[in-house]
Amino acid sequence: MSQQIQEHQLSWALQIPSPNSSDRADPTDISLLVIHNISLPPGQFGGPHIDALFCNQLDGLAHPYFAGICELRVSAHLLIRRDGIVVQYVPFNRKAWHAGNSSFAGRAECNEYSIGIELEGTNEIPFTDKQYQQLVLITHLLLAAYPAITPERIAGHSDIAPGRKTDPGPCFDWPRYRGLI
């Protein structure tokens, strides 16, 4: 299968549409890539819980941690699972609700102009080779499709929401990633 972006979607990604998205104020202003990490429950990988969270279907009784987050209305454009499978929740031309209260280079509301990619992981566990391979491939495609995103305009969630967020965390190998893009 050809690996490309078609109509603001990855051609090979599993598509699970999230209701947690909205129109961008300016759909042509896509100029930041934000990298996150997520695991549900924390520290556990696999399973349907991330999909359920991003689709407002997380059962607050299924795990004690879920009771505090099941009412959140959040999403990301993409999730890269530990095995390299890519899930797309929101087309790139729409605003995903991933950054929250944030700013980059003095500009607030990063959701308006960014693409958010979640890596299935934690701050304490290294990410997999398959995740880096997919992230690098996707980054190259995004840089080509949205030229306002440059290598200098790629940030971690912790960079755009310091003090509030810590992801992608110390186990994310920024030098490895930047060396491959």
Q: Which residues contact 131 (CB under 8 A, 6 or more apart)?
A: 80, 81, 82, 84, 119, 120, 121
Q: Report whether the peptide linkage leading into residue 41 is cis, meaning its omega lies within 30 degrees of zero.
A: yes
Q: From CA 144, how far away is CA 8, in angstroms rounded?
A: 12
- Active-site residue, selected from the candidate residues 71, 112, 118, 120: 118
b/e sequence 25-64, b meaning 16+ C-beta within 10 Å: eeeeebbbbbbbbbbbeeeebeeebbbbbbbeebeeebbe
Based on the residue annotation, tell me whether 118 is a catalytic residue of this protein. Answer: yes
Catalytic residue IDs:
118
